[in-house]
Amino acid sequence: MLVYLASGLFTYVKKVSRRILGMSDGAIKSARRVLEIFEYFARERRPLALKDITQHLGYPASSASLLLKSVVAQGYLEYDRKSRTYFPTMRIAALGSWVHDSLFGEGAVIRLMEHLHRATGETVILATQSGLHAQYIHLIHSEEPLHFAVPPGTRRPLAASGMGLLFLSTYTPKEIDQLRRRINASENPEPRLKQEELLKRVEAVRTQGYAFSKGNVSEGVGIIAMLLPNGPFGRRFAVGLGGPVRRLERKERMIVSQMRRSTAQLAGGR
C-alpha cells in the first residue's frame, strides 16, 4: 500500500531535494528515489544497508547516503549504527493509515482479497487507474509453484491489458476515444490503436462483466479481473486473479462466481 504514500511524501521530498540539489529536475529525481526506496522496503520487509539500496536501485552511494540521512532527520527512517542499516519508522505507518480506511472501508476490500485467495489459491491483485495505465497497488501472492509474481506499483497499459480494459469500460465512447488519442500520442504503440477496434474490445468486456487477458504481457500468464463497486472520492478499483492461463481456464467459472459473489457482498456492505 506504500503507493498511496506518494502524495503525502512528495511535497516533503521535493522541499528536501531542492535544498540538497538546488535544481527542480534534481528535486523530481530525488522525490522519485525516496518513493522507490520506501517501495523497496515494502517488498523486502527488513532493515536495509546503504549497499543494499544502492546496488538494488542503482543509485550513486554519495547522493543516496545524503538522501537517507535527510529522511532520517525528518523521522521517516531510523538508522541503527551497530548494524549500519535503515528501517522505516512508525511515522510512515501513521502518515498513510487514514488512506486505507477511507478508500477500502475499514479493511473490507482486503478481506475480499483474502477470501478470493483462500477460495481459489491464485494470486489476487488490487488495481486502480493511474493516468494511461492500470496500476497494481496491493497483491496477495499464490503459494503455487507456478504463480503470478509482480511487485506492487507494476503498471499495465489501459488499452493493452485486461485491467486496463475494465477501467476503460467505465467511460463513454467519446471519453474512450480521447484516451485513445492520448495513448497514441504518448506511447506510439505499434500498430496504433484504432477507434473502432478499441471500442469493440471495451464493449466485449462491459457485456461480459469481467476481463480475461491471456498472455497479453507474459506468454502463458493471464488475469481474470472484475471492477469493484464505486469507491469514495470517485476512485475506481478492480480486483484480479493472476496465474497460468491454462489453470485459470480450468477454474474460470468458479473464479468468476466467487468474484461476483464477493463484489456483490462488498456493494451491499457499502
Q: Starting at the edge strand that comes first in sequence, how are the strands of the sheet with 48-49 ordered? A: 48-49, 85-88, 77-80
Question: 89-101 pLDDT, tens per residue?
Answer: 888 777 766 666 6
| Residue 72: predicted pLDDT | 92
| Residue 6: predicted pLDDT | 44
Q: Contact, 239 vs 116, CB < 8 A?
A: yes
Would you place residue 231 in the very low, low, confident or very high pLDDT band (cuts 50, 70, 90)? low
Which amino acid is it at 269? Answer: G
**Whether residue 199 has pLDDT greater than 90:** yes
**Whether residue 105 has pLDDT greater than 70:** no
| Residue 127: predicted pLDDT | 93
Supply the angle between the helices 90-104 and 108-120 in degrees, to the nearest 10: 80
**Of 92 and 260, the one with more pLDDT:** 260
| Residue 43: predicted pLDDT | 82
Question: Exposure of 177 by Cβ count < 10 A (0-12 exposed, 13-18 middle, 19+ buried)?
Answer: middle
**Whether residue 70 has pLDDT greater than 80:** yes
| Residue 40: predicted pLDDT | 87
Q: Contact, 78 vs 87, CB < 8 A?
A: yes
Q: Residue 99 — left, alpha, or beta (φ > 0 → left; ψ -120 to 50 → alpha)?
A: alpha
| Residue 106: predicted pLDDT | 57
* Average pLDDT along the chain: 83
Would you place residue 81 in the very low, low, confident or very high pLDDT band (cuts 50, 70, 90)? confident
Phi first, then psi: give them for residue 125, nearest 5 degrees.
-120, 135
Could you tell me the pTM of the whole model? Answer: 0.68
Half-sphere exposure of 168 (CA within 13 A, CB side): 31
| Residue 13: predicted pLDDT | 46
| Residue 154: predicted pLDDT | 86
Would you place residue 12 in the very low, low, confident or very high pLDDT band (cuts 50, 70, 90)? very low
| Residue 196: predicted pLDDT | 93
What value does the mean pLDDT take over residues 65-84?
90
Percent over 90 (pLDDT), the chain: 47
**Whether residue 238 has pLDDT greater than 50:** yes
Question: 145-181 pLDDT, tens per residue?
Answer: 767 778 788 889 999 899 999 999 999 999 999 999 9
Domains annotated for the chain, with CATH where assigned, are 2-94 (1.10.10.10), 105-269 (3.30.450.40)
Cα 106 from Cα 123, distance rounded (Å): 22
Percent over 70 (pLDDT), the chain: 81
**Whether residue 227 has pLDDT greater than 70:** yes
DSSP string, the chain: -GGGGHHHHHHHHHHHHHHHH-SHHHHHHHHHHHHHHHHHHHHH-S-EEHHHHHHHH---HHHHHHHHHHHHHTTSEEEETTTTEEEE-HHHHHHHHHHHHHHHTTTHHHHHHHHHHHHH-SEEEEEEEETTEEEEEEEE---SSS-----TT-EEEGGGSHHHHHHHTTS-HHHHHHHHHHHHHHH--SSPPPHHHHHHHHHHHHHHTSEEEESSSSTTEEEEEEEPPP-GGG--EEEEEEEEHHHHHHHHHHHHHHHHHHHHHHHHH-
Cα 198 from Cα 177, distance rounded (Å): 9
What value does the mean pLDDT take over residues 63-90?
90
**Whether residue 57 has pLDDT greater than 60:** yes
**Whether residue 4 has pLDDT greater than 50:** no
Cα 134 from Cα 125, distance rounded (Å): 11
**Whether residue 204 has pLDDT greater than 50:** yes
Of the candidates 104, 108, 78, the one whose C-alpha atom is nearest the C-alpha of residue 91 is: 78
Cα 12 from Cα 17, distance rounded (Å): 9
| Residue 190: predicted pLDDT | 61
